[in-house]
Amino acid sequence: MAGAPPIALVSGKDVLQGVGGHETYVRAHALAAQRLGLDPHIFCVGPRSRTVATDYGTVHHVRAPGPASMQGPPLANAVAELAGPDHLLGIHGFALWASAGAMAGRLVRRRGFRAAVLCNAYATRAYEVAAMQDGLGAHHGSINRIRYRAWLAWIRAADNRLERWGYANSQLVLVNYASVERILRDAYGDGLNIRRTPYATTDAFADAPPPPRRPNDPPVVACVSRQDPRKGVDVLIRALGALSDAGVPFKAHLAGSGRLLEPHRALARDFSQIELPGRVEDVRPLFAESDIYVLPSLAEASGSVSVLEALRAGTPVISTRIDGMPEDLTDGDDALLVDPNDAEGLASALRRLLTDRELRERLAAGARQTHETRFSAERFVTALGSIYTELEIPVAGLDSDPTIQ
């Protein structure tokens, strides 16, 4: 976008290689920035420094060895190079990398230029990794239990302070849910300037949603999830196993990579209907071909991009009743909600949908309506544009403020 004002999106994680919720969410912000007349520059950690042009902006790989808590200075230096005397530089950080955005803002101002710094917070890293401890079972192995406990100890020792500093030194901290605001205030006090905003996925920027599809026989259950103990994939496998033992017909595709992929494959080994293919580069066909989407997480403070993609596709959703998910979904209207870590309750909800085509069709219609009303690209762009304008980041094409629920 030659001549457009630049905006820096500090992702940390590589948006070129990553297929997870964070990377998708950052790419959605880049697409929204383009609609607002801005030139997105996404800063990620990579094995070597380089720039790559994409259809959602310029990706900057920055060589920054070490854990995430040590990546701030190299990222901040790279971001600050976008500053200049003829524009205010918008700097938008994400999660722990909000600290890199705040560092970059300081560098820009020290050089005599102007910067506006904001960030998105999903929760706290300690909250999410602590939830992983609750999901660890004997089938995950002692090595994994030690690894996740050590990770939580590292976060409490190193990341918490950096995360607090990044949020405190951002002019605005954006969250998707009231539940996330509570988590942040419990952890870091009432001094943060927190604002709740709508969100969307990259698929929301496509020209049209996928058309309704013919049901499968037997019905297909899908889950797209990182294989970690917080995500509850093992709970879903136990629920599906119980339905298989009861003779309920279905097929299940549980996509996603992670440390626990092999333990989860071992758990599903006796059930031929359950497939765990690992990493899937493009999950859109999976949504288009599935009859039910399941989010079995034990904690999901940041929300679920995959649930939004399922809603858009008109795929009936079963979700655990955790964190912000009840703020997105209404039980019986666009989804079925169940308690976390309850394989029996999840199996009961699955049986209802697998055996009741009419219920699936009703929830599918509700899912599409919910996506159109709450998670459209237009609503997201308008909300983000209002925030950028408030911070004096120059935008174009802003029509009106959305109603933020």
Residue 281 has a pLDDT of 81
pLDDT digits (tens, 9 = 90+) for 297-309: 998 887 888 999 9
DSSP 118: E
Q: Provide the sign of the torsion angle of the four alpha carbons 131, 257, 73, 95, taken in this order.
A: negative
pLDDT digits (tens, 9 = 90+) for 69-107: 789 999 999 999 999 999 999 999 999 999 999 999 999
pLDDT tier, 399 (very low <50, low <70, confident <90, very high otherwise): low
- Between 204 and 397, the more confident residue is 204
Fold match, 6-200+377-390 / 205-374:
yes
Fold of 205-374: Rossmann fold (3.40.50)
Residue 397 has a pLDDT of 63
pLDDT tier, 404 (very low <50, low <70, confident <90, very high otherwise): very low
Query: What is the C-alpha R_g of the chain?
Result: 21
Q: Report the DSSP pairing between strands 292-295 and 220-224.
A: parallel
Residue 401 has a pLDDT of 44
Domain ranges of the chain: 6-200+377-390, 205-374
Residue 367 has a pLDDT of 94
pLDDT over threshold 90, residue 7: yes
Mean local confidence (pLDDT), 122-133: 87
pLDDT digits (tens, 9 = 90+) for 256-313: 999 999 999 999 999 999 999 998 888 888 888 899 999 999 988 878 889 999 999 9
* CATH, domain range 6-200+377-390: 3.40.50.2000
Q: What is the Cα–Cα distance from 258 to 18, expressed in whole angstroms? A: 12
pLDDT over threshold 60, residue 382: yes
Q: What is the Cα–Cα distance from 307 to 101, expressed in whole angstroms? A: 28
pLDDT digits (tens, 9 = 90+) for 138-185: 888 888 888 888 888 888 888 889 999 999 999 999 999 999 999 999
Task: Judge contact between 272 and 297, C-beta under 8 A.
Answer: no
